[in-house]
Amino acid sequence: MQIDIVQFDREVCSGTYGRWLEEWGNQCRYLLPDYTGSLLSSKADAVLLLGGHMGVNDRRNHPLLNHCHAELPILVEQGKPILAICLGAQLLADALGGQALTKQRGERSVRQISLTEAGCRDPLFQGVSNPFSSFQWHNDSFDLPETATHLALTESCPGQAFRCQNSYGLQFHPEVDEQIIAGWCQRAKVDETALDEFRESRVEYLAASRRILKNFLEMIE
């Protein structure tokens, strides 16, 4: 399959997801912040939207972010499979009529994520334990669109996963590895407690992350 990977921030990359997609035989096209083309004309089978240091409400200063915000409702209506992570999920929610929230419900480090009843039934989370561990690194969050199905939550941030047609938004980061987290800690000038916690839960984290990506690809196929 062909996957468009939209990278809004050069320092927030696709991590294990990019590597696994390529290892599993998919062709990945990486769209960096200076990309000026249209996703609407892409022949890709699916789109992966990544995170970034900026917020959805800063999109006027980030052309790729702003451009995607305008095109996402059309892509969703067309049935394009989308997996949106962190900033990508906030962008997807806002573009579909929800609301991106600045500096609200922030989380960092490993958190236990609980599935809703709909989440337990959704094919994206089949084979994933409930609750499951994943990694959080966000200052902003979102309120879900009215048309969304709520799939997952944490105690401090209810919007952890949602679905609209064939598109998914994930507030958590299923794609990170130790190198990425270490870089984020350095960039934010914080200690590496989050990295230590990630290492402790790495096996469980990777199992859930891999299963989620596998499920997404199986739905496309």
| Domain residue ranges of the chain, discontinuous segments joined by + | 2-220
Q: Which of 68, 86, 157, 164 is catalytic?
A: 86
Q: How far is CA 153 from the centre of its chain?
A: 14
Q: What is the pLDDT of residues 100-121, one digit of tens each?
A: 999 999 999 999 999 999 999 9
Q: What is the pLDDT of residues 162-182, one digit of tens each?
A: 999 999 999 999 999 999 999
Q: How many CA atoms lie within 13 A of 184 on its CB side?
A: 24
**Helix pair angle (202-220, 193-200), 10° resolution:** 70
Q: What is the pLDDT of residue 221?
A: 86
H/E element, 169: strand 167-170
Q: What is the pLDDT of residue 7?
A: 98
Q: What is the pLDDT of residue 83?
A: 98
Ranges under pLDDT 50 in the chain:
none
Q: Which of 69, 164, 173, 197 is catalytic?
A: 173
Query: And the tokens for 81?
Result: 């499979």
- Catalytic status, residue 173: yes
SS3 content of the chain, % helix, strand, coil (to 5): 40, 25, 35
Model pTM? Answer: 0.97
Mapping DSSP onto H, E and C, the string for 68-122 reads HHHHHHHHHHHCCCEEEECHHHHHHHHHCCCEEECCCCCEEEEEEEEECHHHHHC
Q: Does domain 2-220 have CATH number 3.40.50.880?
A: yes
